[in-house]
Structure 1
Amino acid sequence: MNDVTVARAGWREWTGLAVLALPTLLVSMDLTVLHLAVPHLTADLAPSGTQLLWIVDIYAFLVAGLLITMGTLGDRIGRRRLLLAGAAAFGVASVLAAYAGSAEMLIAARALLGIGGSTLMPSTMSLIRTMFHDDKQRTVAISVWMMSFMTGGAIGPLVAGFMLESFWWGSVFLPAVPVMVLLLALGPVLLPEYRDPSPGRVDPSSVLLSIVSVLALVYCLKQIAADGLSWQASVSFAVGLVAGVVFVRRQMRLAYPLIDVRLFRDRVFTTSVGTLLVSIMVMMGVYFFTAQYLQLVEGLSALEAGLWTLPSTAAGIAGTMVAPALLNRLRPVYVISGGIVVAIIGLAMLTQVGTSGLALIITGSAVLSIGIAPATVLGTDMIVGAAPAERAGAASAVSETSSELGGALGIAVLGSIATAAYQSRLTDTIPAGLAPEAADTALNTLGGALETATDLPARLGDQLVAAAHGAFVHGLHVIAVVSIITMAVFAASVAVVLRRLPSSSAGQEQAIPSTAEPKPR
């Protein structure tokens, strides 16, 4: 226990937290809000296939690639200043995207949205570190922050569906504008400013290396998820790996590194990063395929599928809010490991889903959400709490980057496993009499199989649909089993590393040296 008395947050800090929750919700929402609008903007702007990919992906690419840079920049120039600048850029970009008259303009607007979003995430988290010094209060604050992030991702398709019912496709971007105006108005009043008193100079080479490394790895994972292992994915992985290794080695030599890699020598910090990455990987990978199940197997519309995801979102929110209360009574190892056990139960339920199992997949997804939530909350809390105060922005960027990579890994790795399982099962069960071209299309994706079936005679089409549904469900079972094994192995490592942390110190600051004192190059 630390005997030093720390200041507790009051109404000003809690009101400021509500302000910080708004951009967090919007950044998450913008990751999914465009999905339902794609058919509408395609009809209006007529983008090429490559342009459409950039419209969809460039936002997430730039958010992921710039998080580390922006987190460190906030430590140097001021976290509130960076947050407000990012909010202004995000608001302007939202208007530009809403009224884009060409595919090129929309790509540019989405890129600006990504740059603005990359400033918002680490700024909000590091300001929480500045505003909430009490460990228990900070855990609650991070739970609220995580709840906002989860809610944004869940309501993105619902907001888009509502807007598209009444307005044009660009309207899906406009809800961000009044929120950013509110942030710009209240931020200077309610949010404190903080910057590293001895920041040192920014190393341009480190900035470039970090961006290249993260972007190349994320691009590689997306390529694998879309097309499997290819030479483009292999080259991208090699570039990202080399850039990452050079980046880490450079940080160890610099007096003022972009990221203090010595933080990873602390087992609590490293385990917290791993907890967050694995939890997000499993959650995103499984949810990606449950969303397809709802639409392609159960036959629900996109809006109906979005509504049926609300129970799992509500369960995740409940888990994030319960975690701080549990931490008052139990050690972090019990809260995190216990949550992982609950998540494994949810995954086990998914292994029992059939071609008609709406209730079971909704229940299993909800149990998975409530189990994973404590790991994401406490993992984030321990990452931010372990770093020195002057490096909170950089630590927050590490947290966010691990979340982004976890999401990409979930879709790419689990997606590749599910696709292989789908193709293997369908190869054995595909009905005889299909033309080779039709069989190849059906083997690629479930969507391709269903589209092919519409052009076949009724009996043969029904057989293909049944076989494809069965193969897809088999793929879902396989990734659920892989996720169970992954989570079980990780629960064991968490139990070993975190077993000594007491219940009152999940967010306790670790004695890790600051990088403020220069060291030889």
Structure 2
Amino acid sequence: MTTVLTPRPTAGAREWAALAVLMLPVLLVSVDNTALSFALPSISRALHPSGEQLLWIVDVYPLVLAGLLIPMGGLGDRIGRRRLLLVGGTGFAAVSAASAFAPTAELLVAGRAAMGLFGAMLMPATLSLLRNIFLDPGQRRVAIAVWAGGFSGGAALGPVVGGFLLNHFWWGSVFLMAVPVLVPLLVLGPLLVPESRDPRPGPLDLASVVLAMLTMTPVVYGIKAATASGELFDGLLSAAFGVLFGLLFVRRQAVLEHPMLDLDLFRHPGFTGGVTVNVLGNVGLMGFLFMLTQYLQLVVGLDPMTAGLTMVPGLVLTVLAGFVAVRAVRRLVPRTVIVGGMLLSAGGFLVVALADLAAGPVVVLAAFCLVGAGIGLAETLSNDLVLAAAPPQKAGAASAISETGYEVGAVLGTAVLGGLLTAFYQRHLELPAALDAGAAATAHETLGGAVQAAEGAGSLGPAVQEAAVAAFTAGMHWTALVMTALVALAALAVARVLRSPRAGSAVVRPGRGRPVRT
């Protein structure tokens, strides 16, 4: 039998201009995620939220986003991915502008929830549109490298942008920046970005939408409650609730004629391996950023903007590594590059575990460069594997799973690694016996609390500061050692999953059923 190879259309100037337009919401959402943390002190002074309200200002966005990513990916396949992108962009810009002027904490929480709703429309649409705009595999990898670099780089740019805005304007400016970024998307999107959808989508199953939300939202909340808030029982109960509904969701998808999520995608090792890399990559990146931002500001003593600027070399390497990955797969199989990137990230964590952190930030920033470069290598190709494993008409659902992996990884990185770091810090903290009980309790909670306690401790202040820094750096050593082992073991597991010859191939399905190997 003779196999006829049909030449794939190559992208021209219009397609690359469309990529530039699609990068606007990617950068905005990723910058917004990390910039908000720097605005929390200003929000506290202006709106006087309770401790619970302050947590919800931060947490409600990822909770809503995580619950709606899969439904929105399926909705984009049905109604059109560009249409969903433009609706999401309009809503995100409008709600962000309104949230910038929120007069109460309750309204700001509501605004953040609405931002999660519209953000869930933006992210899967951007990645799935790339699958249909760039049909040539090499060009698609370059486009995904740009996309992944924007997502990772935006997270690191958040402190820089947030620090600049907060040094010159009020807290609402971190939300108001959505308007000038998304206006070009709304103007140029209809002109440059082609519409794409599943030609035979079937009806939208509302029960699947509800089950998807009841799966992801409790799981993400449970992770946060068990690790960040210390509510272990409530967290486990919430996560178990989500797992139960997840099983019901999977069972329903298996029997539907037109499922929201095609479970056959997970039969493909490239898809499964790619999603796994996305989860673990974001665990490493967000966990490292959690450690690094506190270390640079509270241990080294840098202001937020300067701390953000010191992360720029790591950011640049993350972006450049994505383009290196595109060139590397011309000579190496994707499995080799992905596993190599993960081991490089593990090496960065090992540097932190072994370094003398009291000697200055140079070694830690060098370790961040290693972690960022490794993630750039791995995630560019993992996203390509995810999209290549899905037929074009299912690109929205596949992208939503990939985005869900990013979001879950971000939550795990901040919550689990943050919880580990806090636990190690509290275990190693040895405060002066003469310190007031209230101040000691504050210092025992976090490094930031210890810095505040030291400022009001009079002559005991330097001793409190020294003890807190020693405990925090010891916590960084142990947390980094745990991450070194976790990422190295995960690299071995991914290497095993991607060993299959089908891992790098695409899947084409004329209808439901088992994947057809190409």
**TM bucket normalised to smaller:** over 0.9
Q: Give 2:496's aligned residue.
A: 496
For the 8 Å contact 1:199–1:516, the answer to whether it is kept is no
Q: Give 2:506's aligned residue.
A: 509
For the 8 Å contact 2:269–2:500, the answer to whether it is kept is no
Aligned length: 511
Is 2:410 the counterpart of 1:413?
no
For the 8 Å contact 1:353–1:361, the answer to whether it is kept is no
The 2-side partners of 1:376 and 1:5 are apart by: 27
Q: Please, which runs of 5 or more residues in structure 1 have no aligned partner?
A: none
The 1-side partners of 2:150 and 2:4 are apart by: 30
For the 8 Å contact 1:331–1:501, the answer to whether it is kept is no
For the 8 Å contact 1:164–1:171, the answer to whether it is kept is yes
For the 8 Å contact 2:159–2:307, the answer to whether it is kept is no
SS at match of 1:165: helix
Residues 469-480 of structure 1: matches in 2 within 5 Å?
Answer: 469-480=469-480
Is 2:481 the counterpart of 1:481?
yes
The 1-side partners of 2:513 and 2:179 are apart by: 38
The 1-side partners of 2:366 and 2:170 are apart by: 35
Task: State the Cα distance separating 1:481 from its structure 2 match.
Answer: 1.1
Is 2:465 the counterpart of 1:462?
no
The 1-side partners of 2:205 and 2:433 are apart by: 62
Residues 158-237 of structure 1: matches in 2 within 5 Å?
Answer: 158-237=160-239
User: 1:237-279 CA distances to partner (integer Å, 9 max, x unpaired)?
Assistant: 1211111111111111111111112211222211111111111
Higher mean alpha-carbon deviation, 126-135 vs 61-70, is at 61-70
For the 8 Å contact 2:162–2:305, the answer to whether it is kept is no
The 2-side partners of 1:364 and 1:26 are apart by: 26
Task: State the Cα distance separating 1:356 from its structure 2 match.
Answer: 3.2
**What is the one-letter code of the residue matched to 2:135?**
H
The 2-side partners of 1:194 and 1:482 are apart by: 43
Q: TM-score, normalised by structure 1?
A: 0.93
For the 8 Å contact 1:34–1:172, the answer to whether it is kept is yes
Is 2:363 the counterpart of 1:360?
yes
SS at match of 1:47: coil
User: 1:260-318 CA distances to partner (integer Å, 9 max, x unpaired)?
Assistant: 12211222211111111111112211221111111111111222211112121111111
User: 1:420-465 CA distances to partner (integer Å, 9 max, x unpaired)?
Assistant: 2222222xx443334544443333222222222233342x432332
Q: Give 2:101's aligned residue.
A: 99
**What is the one-letter code of the residue matched to 2:474?**
H
**What is the one-letter code of the residue matched to 1:482?**
V
Task: State the Cα distance separating 1:40 from its structure 2 match.
Answer: 2.3
The 2-side partners of 1:108 and 1:421 are apart by: 35
Q: Give 1:448's aligned residue.
A: 449
For the 8 Å contact 1:196–1:390, the answer to whether it is kept is yes
Correspondence for 1:66 among 65, 68, 87: 68
SS at match of 2:359: coil
Q: Give 2:149's aligned residue.
A: 147
Say if 1:178 and 1:411 are closer, same or farther in 2 by CA, change over 3 A. Answer: closer
SS at match of 2:184: helix
The 2-side partners of 1:190 and 1:285 are apart by: 37
Q: Give 2:8's aligned residue.
A: 6
Say if 1:314 and 1:501 are closer, same or farther in 2 by CA, change over 3 A. Answer: farther
Q: Give 2:388's aligned residue.
A: 385
Higher mean alpha-carbon deviation, 145-154 vs 6-15, is at 145-154
The 2-side partners of 1:34 and 1:12 are apart by: 34
Q: Runs in 1 of length 4+ with deviation above 6 angstroms?
A: none
Say if 1:2 and 1:380 are closer, same or farther in 2 by CA, change over 3 A. Answer: farther
Q: Give 2:111's aligned residue.
A: 109
For the 8 Å contact 1:143–1:377, the answer to whether it is kept is yes
Q: Give 1:401's aligned residue.
A: 404
Higher mean alpha-carbon deviation, 69-78 vs 292-301, is at 292-301
**What is the one-letter code of the residue matched to 1:487?**
V
User: 1:22-55 CA distances to partner (integer Å, 9 max, x unpaired)?
Assistant: 1111111121222222222332222233322222
For the 8 Å contact 1:286–1:479, the answer to whether it is kept is no
**What is the one-letter code of the residue matched to 1:363?**
A
The 1-side partners of 2:407 and 2:121 are apart by: 14
For the 8 Å contact 1:213–1:241, the answer to whether it is kept is yes
Q: Give 1:88's aligned residue.
A: 90
SS at match of 1:362: helix
Q: Give 2:432's aligned residue.
A: 431
The 2-side partners of 1:136 and 1:514 are apart by: 27
Task: State the Cα distance separating 1:365 from its structure 2 match.
Answer: 0.7
Task: State the Cα distance separating 1:500 from its structure 2 match.
Answer: 5.5
Identity %: 45
SS at match of 1:34: helix
Task: State the Cα distance separating 1:379 from its structure 2 match.
Answer: 0.9
Q: TM-score, normalised by structure 2?
A: 0.94
**What is the aligned-residue RMSD (CA, Å)?**
2.1
The 1-side partners of 2:369 and 2:76 are apart by: 36
Q: Please, which runs of 5 or more residues in structure 2 have no aligned partner?
A: none
User: 1:202-235 CA distances to partner (integer Å, 9 max, x unpaired)?
Assistant: 1111111111211111111122232224332122
SS at match of 1:213: helix
Q: Give 2:342's aligned residue.
A: 340
For the 8 Å contact 1:263–1:512, the answer to whether it is kept is no
**What is the one-letter code of the residue matched to 2:69?**
L
The 2-side partners of 1:2 and 1:226 are apart by: 56
Say if 1:436 and 1:346 are closer, same or farther in 2 by CA, change over 3 A. Answer: same
